[in-house]
Every structure is written in structure tokens, then in C-alpha cells.
A = this chain, B = another copy of it.
């Protein structure tokens, strides 16, 4: 999959979505920023530049070959419902972290086990679901600096995971295959730890990296 593909970012006016959109647009991908309000999406796309465009979430999802969803946990269900008609057969990348304010430093996984499994239950088998980008500090991603955080990529479809690993790499991060979709719970939970550490250790955006000599397997 190459850079001629269109990447939709549903919730793309939020901190994480706009930072991802900016990096992907800079890397040469065609980016469509989605928002509940079309004018906000258009404004954000103009700010990003590099050919990015803006539209309401549903239209953005319809335009995307790959559809990223970057919304707060509280908006996840309604947002996914909105885009269902437009994502059939596509790769949907859910970045939802199940933070439940005010106790965001406390792991509070949802009854489904993870936000990714909740997304799976809503979207059904008609889409290829991947989850990723849970641990990256948005305010660091928004700058041209080394974010210092691996992107753990989860999904039951290895090829779809590979597409998202490639997107992360194109953004100057390191994308890593991290196994099946249910494993997403680990990265989603990790975000609460990172928020705790940011406070406890006075860090500006702690991240995680996987150590060891990771060798990308040869693809046949």
C-alpha cells in the first residue's frame, strides 16, 4: 500500500488526530481530516497544509482508504456508529484509550476488555479492525521532534497490521506488530501508567519503547 492511498482521520481536529494528520500529510499521504463540524475540519486541514482537506466525519470516512478514529473514549461509540455506512471492507484504525476522567491515572478497562474490542463489537466483521497510537503523547507528535515512543499495533489481520506499522514508520515513529486485537488492552492500559509517571516523575510526555534487537521478518 503506497502513499497514493487516502487516509481519513475521524476526530482529526483533536490533539492526537491533528498531530497524526500533520505527520502523514508531511510524509506525502493524502489526508482527509474529519470533524463533527465541517468548517472546523477545513480549518484544521488548512493549518496542516501539505494538501490535507477537511470534511465532516462521515464524508471523511467515505473518502478514506484507511480510516483512523481518534476520539475520546466517551465519544467512541457514537462516532463509530456514524461512520459504519462508509467503512465496509476498509481498514479502520481505532486509537481510543479508555480513560475515564477524573481518574485518568488509574487503569479502567471497559467491560468488553478494551476499547478495541468495544469497537469490534460496534463495527462488526465487515471492517478490518486494527488498534494503535495509544501511547504517543499528542503534544510531542505535534512538533518536529523525536517522540521517543513505539507504536504498538494490534489486529487479527497481519497484513492490515502491516499497513498501520508502515503508517507509523512514515510518521517518524517505530510501528511494531504486537499481536491479536485482544492484546490492545495492554497498550490501552499502559496510557494510564504513562499519565501517572508524567505526574510522579515530572516528565513531559513519557513513552514506551520495546528493547531487544527486533528484526522485521522477511515477507515472502
The contact of A206 among B185, B207, B212, by CB within 8 Å, is: B212
List residues of A (91-142) whose CB comes within 8 Å of B's CBs: 105-109, 113
Interface size bracket, A side: 35 or more
A197 pairs with B177, CB closer than 8 A: yes
B183 pairs with A189, CB closer than 8 A: yes
A18 interfacial by beta-carbon distance below 8 Å: no
Copies of this subunit: 2
Among A108, A192, A211, residue most surrounded by chain B Cβ atoms (within 10 Å): A211
Q: Who on chain B is nearest to A158 by CB?
A: B200
A190 pairs with B190, CB closer than 8 A: yes
The contact of A214 among B109, B176, B203, by CB within 8 Å, is: B203
A196 interfacial by beta-carbon distance below 8 Å: yes
Q: Who on chain B is nearest to A149 by CB?
A: B211
A208 interfacial by beta-carbon distance below 8 Å: yes
Residues of B within 8 A of A113 (CB): 109
Q: How far is the CB of A159 from the nearest CB of chain B, in Å? A: 14
Rounded to whole angstroms, the CA-CA distance of A176 and B213 in the bound complex is 23
The contact of A212 among B108, B192, B203, B215, by CB within 8 Å, is: B203
The contact of A209 among B107, B203, B211, by CB within 8 Å, is: B211
A63 interfacial by beta-carbon distance below 8 Å: no
Q: How far is the CB of A114 from the nearest CB of chain B, in Å? A: 8
A178 pairs with B196, CB closer than 8 A: yes
Q: How far is the CB of A105 from the nearest CB of chain B, in Å? A: 6
Q: How far is the CB of A47 from the nearest CB of chain B, in Å? A: 27
Residues of B within 8 A of A72 (CB): none
27 residue pairs A–B, Cβ–Cβ below 8 Å = A105-B183, A107-B183, A107-B185, A109-B109, A109-B113, A148-B211, A149-B211, A176-B197, A177-B197, A178-B193, A186-B186, A186-B192, A186-B193, A194-B210, A197-B210, A197-B212, A198-B212, A200-B217, A201-B217, A203-B213, A205-B212, A206-B210, A207-B210, A207-B212, A208-B209, A208-B211, A209-B209
| Smallest CB-CB A-B distances: 5 pairs | A186-B189, A148-B211, A203-B212, A206-B212, A179-B196
